[in-house]
Amino acid sequence: MTDIINRKADHIKLALQPEHQGQQSSSFDSLRFEPNPLPQMALQEVELQSTFLDKPIASPFMIGAMTGGCDNADIINQHLAEAAQICNIPMAIGSQRAALEKGLKQNIRQWAPSAILLGNLGGTQLQQQGLDLAKRAVDSIMADALVIHLNPLQELIQPNGDRNWNLVLEAIQNCASKLSVPIIVKEVGSGIGPITAQKLLDAGIQWIEVAGSGGTNWASIELARNSSPRECEIAAPFIDWGMGTADILQAVHHSCPQLSLIGAGGVRHGLDIARCIRLGAQMAALAKPFLVPALKSTEAVIEQIEIFQEQLRWAMFLTGSKNLSQLRTAAIQ
């Protein structure tokens, strides 16, 4: 258990370092909206409101999964949850494995009594421990949905990571059919492509967070933690494994239009949120941009949320999009 706690603490420290983040330019930068110098509206007329899991939210983005199981996770999650509650945006928590295995009570609901909260487990954890673990994860935070994260490359590089990925899809399908809340399946930085998206759709999944490359590079982080020269040499060619979020988001939307998509991975600001919506996502998720504010205070997280909201509002105004429906058809180059 100490190994898990130390790993989670390392993840936070390394995620703050620029060398473990995607390049400054990303797949989003290749997508340009056609400027509309005649928006024919006032800025305050732009409507950001949306719905997620059949509940109203203030804006079409959420706080992405960040941390769980280390000593300062509680204060980070408190600041994030309080901001999510005040601003009425959803929040996904980090992996719950460590807390569940330690038998710790997760008190996030006390800080966000009515916000949309998403639980989080790994695909191999679900494969190994089944539906009971999923129910415990949901019940422990009274989650509105459960995120199942897929991270095979990270597990390969991680010392003692999970190598057996047999029956993970079947475990997800069983969970989707029997759990009382929706399942959201996500990658952590390599992306979920059209072939896998179709498999998940056939398994009963309605929500996918594509999470392509461009954001926090978990392969790079695990490589920095791995002390085996041999394993580091094996892993080296795979550090940039995956597809850019903008490219893969558009591909999945075209191949599986019935899926509800969350754009994540290298989403840096409100303009990228607008790009996600235009490429077919219902929502965007940001994690790293909230980490530094979360280490400071609830007010710092709220300020960051408001900045993203205003950036999104500007993007919509400058494309003549009064609401999200119009943004989804805005002209692009």
Residue at 262: amino acid letter: I
Residue 248 in any domain: the answer is yes
Tens digit of pLDDT at every position of the chain (333 positions): 455 555 555 656 666 656 656 654 468 988 999 999 999 999 999 999 999 999 999 999 999 998 654 456 889 999 999 999 999 999 999 999 888 888 887 889 999 999 999 999 999 999 999 999 999 999 999 999 999 999 999 999 988 899 999 999 999 999 999 999 999 999 999 999 999 999 999 999 999 999 999 888 878 888 888 889 999 999 999 998 999 999 999 999 999 999 999 999 999 999 999 999 999 999 999 999 999 999 999 999 999 999 999 999 999 999 999 999 999 999 998
- Whether 234 is in a domain gets the answer no
26 domain-assigned: no
* Rounded CA separation 141/118 (Å): 8
233 found inside a domain: no
Give me the CATH number covering residue 285.
Answer: 3.20.20.70
The reported pLDDT for the residue numbered 187 is: 95
Q: DSSP letters along 6-46, please? A: HHHHHHHHHHTSGGGB--SS-GGGG--BPP-S---S-GGG-
Beta strand spans in 151-198 (E) = 183-187
Question: For residue 10, what pLDDT is reported?
Answer: 61
* pLDDT computed for residue 69 by the predictor: 47
Question: Number of structural domains, the chain?
Answer: 1
The tokens for 249 are 């988001």
Residue 51: the pLDDT is 98
**pLDDT for the residue numbered 24:** 47
Put residue 330 in one of left, alpha, beta given phi > 0 → left and psi -120 to 50 → alpha.
beta
DSSP string, 193-211: -HHHHHHHHHTT--EEE--
DSSP 3-state of 188? coil
At 216, which amino acid appears?
T
- Asked if residue 61 belongs to a domain, the reply is yes
Any domain includes 85: yes
Residue 214 placed within a domain: yes
pTM (predicted TM-score): 0.91
Domain with 206 in it: 2-9+48-187+195-226+240-327
Residue 133 lies in a domain: yes
